[in-house]
Amino acid sequence: MDSQAVRWAMVRKLEAQGVSHPAVLAAMRTVERHRFVDSALANQAYEDTSLPIGLGQTISKPNVVARMCELLCQGSREKLGRVLEIGTGCGYQAAVLSHLAREVYSIERLRGLHDKARENLRGMRLSNLHLLFGDGMLGYPKGAPYAAIIAAAGGNDIPDAWIEQLAVGGRLVAPAVTGSDRQNLVVVDKTATGVVRTVLEAVLFVPLKSGVA
Ligand code: SAH
């Protein structure tokens, strides 16, 4: 598949939708999304749609990946430091993050997807990306504190462990059910004096679950 032209077209659409951070746009141009979905779906890989990746899970829409990455990078032209991603899935967003951060830890609770992500990422030479198998609701204390934490699955609230493992000055972006019983994107900024929580637009992510399977 000669995917570069379609990928660049996808990124032009992202720009038209308001994504403007140069490093995020560059990462979205670089990572070959079609390598992360079944070959039968490869021709849809650059459409702005979520796609099934097996075990009832989905790869997020390009627009949502770009939006969340942009929120993490906001206001800075520097690379992020250490980043924790909860919900590796097929590994696509982890690959995008690896271009935006010095170090990425990505954790997945389903063994089948953890293995699939490893397979998908093989040969991409992303030496700063570390795939972990485990329950991301507990975060990953060994890598803490994190400059940024990003979750691709949404629960009723943001686990305390994530806030604890966030560095002062760090930012967390995650879907969570807010007062209205709807899932919204939530940004948590950790400052020296406490945490500031901002609720953004409604989103639809797969559920955050505890334990491994
Ligand atoms: N970023 C992924 C999106 C995958 S969907 C991608 O680019 O493909 C979200 C993933 O979160 C699913 O694979 C699901 O199994 C995982 N997940 C849900 N709860 C989790 C938890 N507690 N710890 C780790 N992963 C979790």
Q: Say what the pLDDT of residue 180 is.
A: 74
Is residue 199 very low, low, confident or very high in pLDDT (cuts 50, 70, 90)?
Answer: very high
pTM exceeds 0.95: yes
Describe the crossing of helices 62-73 and 22-30 by its angle, rounded to 10 degrees.
140
The pLDDT tens digits of the residues spanning 81-108 come to 999 999 999 999 999 999 999 999 999 9
Rounded Cα gap, residues 43 and 40, in angstroms: 7
Domain assignment present for 207: no
Domain assignment present for 71: yes
3-state helix, strand, coil in the chain (%, to 5): 35, 30, 35
8-state DSSP, 67: H
Cβ count within 10 A of residue 114: 21
Rounded Cα gap, residues 208 and 187, in angstroms: 17
Is residue 1 very low, low, confident or very high in pLDDT (cuts 50, 70, 90)?
Answer: low
Domain assignment present for 212: no
Residue 106 maps to which CATH number?
3.40.50.150
Collapsing DSSP to helix, strand or coil, 207 comes out as strand
Domain assignment present for 177: yes
11 CA distance to ligand 1 middle (Å): 24
Q: Which amino acid is at 20?
A: S
Are the beta carbons of 22 and 15 closer than 8 angstroms?
no
The pLDDT tens digits of the residues spanning 158-180 come to 999 999 999 999 999 999 998 87
**Containing structural domain, residue 34:** 4-202
Say yes or no: CB of residue 206 within 6 Å of ligand 1: yes
The pLDDT tens digits of the residues spanning 30-81 come to 999 999 999 999 999 999 999 999 999 999 999 999 999 999 999 788 999 9
Domain assignment present for 48: yes
**Residue pointed to by tokens 């900024």:** 189
Q: Which of 58, 63, 68, 88 to mutate to test the pocket of ligand 1 (most atoms within 8 A of CB)?
A: 88
Phi, psi (rounded to 5 degrees) for 175: -80, 140
209 CA distance to ligand 1 middle (Å): 9
Is residue 2 very low, low, confident or very high in pLDDT (cuts 50, 70, 90)?
Answer: confident
Phi, psi (rounded to 5 degrees) for 124: -90, -5
State the total domains in the chain: 1
211 CA distance to ligand 1 middle (Å): 12
Domain assignment present for 129: yes
Kindly state the average pLDDT of the residues 126-140. Answer: 98
Kindly state the average pLDDT of the residues 112-140. Answer: 97
Domain assignment present for 197: yes
Domain assignment present for 208: no
Q: Relative to the CA of 113, which ligand 1 atom is closest?
A: 13
